[in-house]
Amino acid sequence: MSEIRGIYTLWLREVKKFLREKPRLINAICQPLLWLFIFGTGMRFSSGMPGINYQEFIFPGLIVQAMLFTAMFMGVSVIWDREFGFLKEILVSPISRTSVFLGKMLGTSTDVMIQGIIIFPFAYLIGIPVHIFMVLEALPLMILITIGLVCIGLTFASLMKSFEGFGLIQTFINLPMFFLSGALFPLANVPTWLQWASYVNPLTYGVDALRTVMMGDTWVQLFPMSLDIMVLLCFDIIMFVIGKTAFCRVE
Amino acid sequence: MKPIIETFNLKKQFGPYTAVNNISLTINKGEVFALLGPNGAGKTTFLSMLCTILRPTSGTALINGFDISRESAQVRRSIGIVFQDPSVDTDMTSRENLQMHANLYSVPVSEQEERIKQVLELVGLSGRADDFMYTYSGGMRRRLEIARGLLHYPRVLFLDEPTIGLDPRSREHIWDYIRNLRKREDMTIILTTHYMEEADRLCDRIAIIDQGTIVALDTPSVLKQEVGGDIITIRSDKSQVLSDLLIQDNIAGHVSYHNDEIKISVQDANFQFPGIVEYAVNAGIRIDHVTITKPDMNDVFIHYTGKELYHGETPERTGRIAMMKRRRAR
């Protein structure tokens, strides 16, 4: 019981902190708009994708991108906690390490979900007919994407000693995972090496699954839905185990 | 008196370096106990082991009857900790910081609000409960950390350098709160410090710790007594020569040489001082300046370790002096 209370406390802290930081929320709303309306409009009218509205095409990709970046950034907040000493207060409490990890993980995941959901209403602006069933189908997929990403963020945070390495995460995790996910361009016509590089990226399956839900018949699925979900599930489980192990080793 | 903390040959090694070397001591219920020593003496390492943050290399300790190695959860519930470095979440209000702590330590929800009010009152922060921590001064943050350490009714409160980096006024405040706390809350307080004044004024017993071992442990008054009733400080153009001679011929009490000054601890300066002057005159050494004082903790520390607690000195310099002294002692 005391463990559950501890997890709830840590979850609440993460969410409170996320919602309190106004600049981050403004950013969360505005950045996808830039992608959607400047990048999206530009690409829509210059590169031909017959039969497909490019803005509609990148929309699920942008949700995944926003979640990816938020997950990395919020996960790395563990380093802030360590820098400012608050991590010590948590780690010497009677709450077990596993519960601390769970609290942090669930809290950050909630932040990431909020970030993803913020973008949803923009679908109206580009003419995607959002209805309740689409949202109900998309949300579980987003949760599956979130957990794995958050655990990656927490793993790096546990391994990094200072904030200086964050730039490396940006270059070697965020951008490759984003570019290789099929979020910005379809993977059907690219060279084989790029295709394979994308197929080892779990986000590719997340983007594929979200597109299936949001674009309906205009999207030709890369993989069957069951495979997408299986890959995401494995991604979550593996990253959870790695993240928890790394976090439990933090001194 | 019942013991609340017992350590048994507690030892911590980092590679080849021994930070804490086989410390065994007993601290009684209700005591205010100080660990006094210079930076790097092993105080924080010793404390970290008691708080179950660090695993001992060998030996163990009992806190409130629980073993620090095998029953860390129970130990953690029995203790409150105020770290040397700040550890509040500055993006939260002080009430939120306290609520988080109460939840992590399973303080019953029904008592939470009342208890938070109590501890805030105790450290004089009642009016600021809903302000964000980043608006607090360093001294106020420290006080909130003390309040937080108390929140879950710990049996033992650890304060690691509670007044480090604070201005004299804030320091006096913290001392008042610690004294107050002792009266109001029935608990044992253990603090580390390198301020002699702090140990002297707050504590029932003091352990002087140097290079991982306890070199002396007693009440402040006994420690001072052991050093001698008076301290004669002599300055001369040949201080070092005189100090060597005094040691060599075993003229009076305990002699130490430091910073061009000779400190001699004697039982009664009124009787022994003339003899020392006579000895110096016979040796052809002129005494420039003399002061006679009652010993303070700094003198105690020099007496036991042969070096001064760092007072605007670099550790290297103190180390060199200690080496010189050891060489001379042979």
Instruction: Report the gap between the CA of B39 and the closest CA in chain A (Å).
Output: 20
Residue B258 β-bridge partners: B261
Q: How far is CA A53 from CA A50, A165, A212, B77, in A?
A: 8, 38, 15, 60
DSSP B79-112: EEEE-SS----TTSBHHHHHHHHHHHTT--HHHH
- CATH number for B3-218 (one of 3.30.300.350, 3.40.50.300, 3.30.1370.30, 3.30.300.30): it is 3.40.50.300
Which architecture characterizes domain B226-329 according to CATH? 2-Layer Sandwich (3.30)
Nearest to A2 among B83, B92, B106 (CB): B106
Distance CA A160, CA B122 (A): 39
Q: What percent of chain B is predicted at pLDDT more than 70?
A: 93
Instruction: Report the gap between the CA of A162 and the closest CA in chain B (Å).
Output: 17
Cβ-defined contact of A6 to B104 (cutoff 8 Å): yes
Render pLDDT for B72-101 as a digit per residue (tens, 0 to 9): 889 999 999 999 888 999 899 999 999 999
DSSP character at residue B237 = T
- The pLDDT of residue B324 is above 50: no
Nearest to A5 among B83, B106, B148 (CB): B106
Render pLDDT for B259-288 as a digit per residue (tens, 0 to 9): 788 888 888 888 888 888 888 888 888 888
Mean pLDDT by 10 residues, chain A (251 residues): 92 93 88 90 80 87 94 87 89 93 96 93 85 90 97 92 81 92 89 94 96 84 93 97 92 72
- In chain A, residues with a C-beta closer than 8 Å to the C-beta of B106 are 1-2, 5, 94
Distance CA A181, CA A209 (A): 12
Reported ipTM: 0.88
Can you give the residue ranges of every domain in chain B? 3-218, 226-329
Check if the beta carbon of residue A86 is closer than 8 Å to that of residue B88. yes
Chain A residues with CB within 8 Å of chain B CB:
1-2, 5-6, 8-9, 13, 16-17, 20, 84-86, 88-96
- In chain B, residues with a C-beta closer than 8 Å to the C-beta of A94 are 73, 76-77, 104-106
